[in-house]
């Protein structure tokens, strides 16, 4: 279901016209739909039926505390990759016992804080990390619950920057070496083995890579059982893709069903979806500042830029760009570019649109890896974020001002 439909010739989010939000809150602007977030989360959660499970939303996709709070209220768990994300989840009212902590570079301080608040599981990504975690837990007089993130060497068939399950990627432990590391973990006094973890990449649009990875994880499960190592859950990571253009990823329920088909008995399953919950729950609104047709290209210069939404520049990602209120004008192919001083600063290229200066454009599917990857490049303040609930709009993050940036900097004495 599209939570950002056209109605009466203009684009809506739930009960509100986006043009009204742009007028009230200015542009560039991120706008999220509560109903969309909840629908996407529940599609995963419901698909498990009675099978013991936990959907741990990947905070990195969209870490706004109000967004996290909406999901926490639905019962979501959270996949975090930093101490900062941990504090966000706690601030949002997330249950520490539903948090899993992934990432190849956890620091001793981050481990200690996560142990103190009682997270559910550390997804350990190397032998060195396991040893450090054992030490940190020992100092606190605790046992650290762990899964080892294994790298199954499966081609996720996605953009190389967001593929994580190939042996040349930095993530996880070579699945062939995992049994030895589990045996080491079993010897460590401050480590408690809970599960096996695996995440092979992001924006996956086919089921096969997930199933290939799962097959290898299940072979490891058998091997560990033969070694007398008990496994209490499988964490199968995130990565389900969304439709940006003409991709046809499996539906949330088909993805979960495909995983469950292979799971033995009632073994609990965790998943860590980010994009498939947040991407199509958000749009990025930007206004055309100037039209600059040239002999070679037609540029529509907008007030949003690569610092606000970097996916097109970074991965050559294609996101749909639509007029908020379509009107009659000369239709041409436009490059939608921002004010940042980089040739790579574009939101889209060759988009057939009828444009005039002052028009509002919406970049669709911008709820994941949008604001979360925004920066202050060119000393631009990051945009405001609005969460819409029915006919009400809430500012869930204010637009950054230059004073906000300057507050953190000092002159030499």
Ligand X SMILES: Cc1ncc(COP(=O)(O)O)c(C=O)c1O
Ligand Y SMILES: N[C@@H](CCCC[NH3+])C(=O)O
The nearer residue to ligand Y, 33 or 158, going by C-beta atoms, is 158
Q: How far apart are CA 170 and CA 156, in angstroms?
A: 15
Site stretch for ligand X (CB under 6 A), options 68-76, 186-194, 238-246, 322-330? 238-246
Residue 176 marked ligand-binding: no
Residue from the set 69, 82, 202, 287 that interacts with ligand Y by CB under 6 A: 202
Q: Report DSSP letters for 144-175, one per residue.
A: EEEEEEEE------S-GGGB--STTSSSSEET
Size of the site for ligand Y (CB under 6 A): 6
Partner interacting with residue 79 (select from ligand X, ligand Y, none; CB below 5-8 Å by kind): ligand X
DSSP-derived 3-state class of residue 236: coil
Q: How far apart are CA 5 and CA 198, in angstroms?
A: 36
The nearer residue to ligand X, 48 or 334, going by C-beta atoms, is 48
Q: How far apart are CA 108 and CA 123, in angstroms?
A: 15
Exposure pattern of 312-325 as b/e (b: 16+ CB <10 Å)? bbeeebbbebbbbe
Q: How far is the CB of 60 from ligand Y (least distance, A)?
A: 6
Binding of residue 239 to ligand X (CB under 6 A)? yes
Binding of residue 30 to ligand Y (CB under 6 A)? no
Residue 15 marked ligand-binding: no
Residue 369 marked ligand-binding: yes
- Residue of 56, 74, 121, 341 marked catalytic: 341
Partner interacting with residue 258 (select from ligand Y, ligand X, none; CB below 5-8 Å by kind): none
Residue from the set 3, 311, 351, 382 that interacts with ligand Y by CB under 6 A: 311
CA 325 to chain centre: 29
Is 341 a catalytic site residue?
yes
The nearer residue to ligand X, 4 or 101, going by C-beta atoms, is 101
Binding of residue 313 to ligand Y (CB under 6 A)? no
Q: How far is the CB of 304 from ligand X (least distance, A)?
A: 22
Binding of residue 144 to ligand X (CB under 6 A)? no
Binding of residue 63 to ligand X (CB under 6 A)? no
The nearer residue to ligand X, 31 or 279, going by C-beta atoms, is 279
Q: How far is the CB of 162 from ligand X (least distance, A)?
A: 6
DSSP H helical segments within 101-207, as ranges?
Answer: 108-117, 127-139, 178-187
Q: In angstroms, what is the C-alpha Rg of the chain?
A: 23
SS3 assignment for 294-327: CCCCEEEEECCCCCCCCHHHHHCCCCCEEECCCC
Residue with tokens 């908020």: 324
Question: Which tokens go with 229?
Answer: 């190592």
Residue from the set 53, 120, 270, 275 that interacts with ligand X by CB under 6 A: 275
Size of the site for ligand X (CB under 6 A): 17
At a CB cut-off of 8 Å and minimum separation 6, what does 10 contact?
Answer: 17, 18, 19, 324, 325
* Interface with ligand X in residues 148-207 (CB under 6 A): 164, 199, 202-203
Is the Cβ–Cβ distance between 125 and 149 less than 8 Å?
yes
As a whole number of angstroms, the longest Cα–Cα distance in the chain is 72
Residue 397 marked ligand-binding: no
Binding of residue 102 to ligand X (CB under 6 A)? yes
Partner interacting with residue 272 (select from ligand Y, ligand X, none; CB below 5-8 Å by kind): ligand X
Residue 311 marked ligand-binding: yes
Residues in the chain: 413
At a CB cut-off of 8 Å and minimum separation 6, what does 378 contact?
Answer: 305, 307, 339, 340, 341
The nearer residue to ligand Y, 239 or 323, going by C-beta atoms, is 239
The 60-99 contact track toward ligand Y, x by CB under 6 A, reads x---------------------------------------
Residues that bind ligand X (CB under 6 A): 58, 61, 79, 102, 164, 199, 202-203, 237-240, 272-276
Enumerate the active-site residues.
341
Q: Where is the binding site for pyridoxal 5'-phosphate, in residues?
A: 239, 272-275, 369
């Amino acid at each position: 279901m599209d939570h950002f439909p056209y109605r009466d010739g203009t684009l809506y989010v739930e009960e509100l016209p986006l043009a009204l939000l742009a007028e009230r809150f200015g542009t560039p602007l991120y706008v999220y739909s509560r109903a969309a977030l909840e629908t996407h989360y529940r599609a995963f959660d419901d698909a498990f039926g009675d099978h013991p499970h936990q959907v741990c939303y990947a905070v990195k996709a969209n870490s706004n505390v109000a967004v996290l709070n909406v999901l926490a209220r639905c019962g979501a768990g959270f996949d975090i990759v930093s101490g900062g994300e941990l504090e966000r989840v706690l601030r949002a009212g997330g249950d520490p016992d539903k948090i899993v902590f992934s990432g190849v570079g956890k620091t001793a301080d981050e481990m200690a804080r996560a142990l103190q608040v009682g997270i559910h599981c550390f997804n350990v990504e190397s032998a060195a990390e396991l040893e450090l975690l054992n030490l940190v837990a020992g100092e606190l007089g605790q046992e650290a619950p762990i899964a080892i993130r294994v790298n199954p060497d499966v081609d996720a068939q996605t953009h190389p920057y967001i593929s994580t399950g190939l042996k040349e990627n930095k993530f996880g432990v070579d699945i062939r070496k995992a049994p030895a590391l589990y045996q080491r973990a079993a010897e460590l006094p401050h480590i408690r083995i809970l599960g096996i973890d695996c995440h092979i990449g992001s924006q996956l649009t086919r089921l096969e890579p997930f199933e290939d990875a799962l097959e290898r994880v299940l072979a490891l499960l058998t091997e560990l059982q033969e070694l007398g190592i008990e496994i209490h859950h499988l964490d199968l990571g995130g990565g389900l893709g969304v439709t940006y253009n003409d991709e046809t990823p499996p539906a949330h329920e088909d993805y979960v069903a495909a995983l469950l088909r292979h799971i033995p008995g009632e073994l609990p399953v965790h998943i860590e979806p980010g994009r498939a919950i947040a991407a199509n729950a958000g749009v990025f609104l930007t206004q055309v500042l100037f039209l600059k047709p040239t002999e070679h290209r037609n540029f529509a210069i907008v007030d949003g830029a690569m610092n606000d939404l970097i996916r097109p520049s970074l991965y050559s990602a294609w996101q749909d760009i639509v007029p908020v209120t379509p009107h009659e004008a000369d239709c041409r192919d436009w490059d939608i570019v921002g004010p940042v001083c980089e040739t790579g600063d574009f939101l889209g290229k060759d988009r057939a649109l009828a444009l005039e200066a002052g028009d509002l454009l919406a970049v669709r599917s911008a709820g994941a890896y949008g604001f979360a990857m925004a920066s202050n490049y060119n000393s631009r303040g990051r945009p405001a974020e609005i969460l819409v609930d029915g006919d009400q709009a809430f500012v869930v993050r204010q637009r950054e001002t230059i004073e906000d940036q300057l507050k953190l900097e000092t002159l030499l004495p």
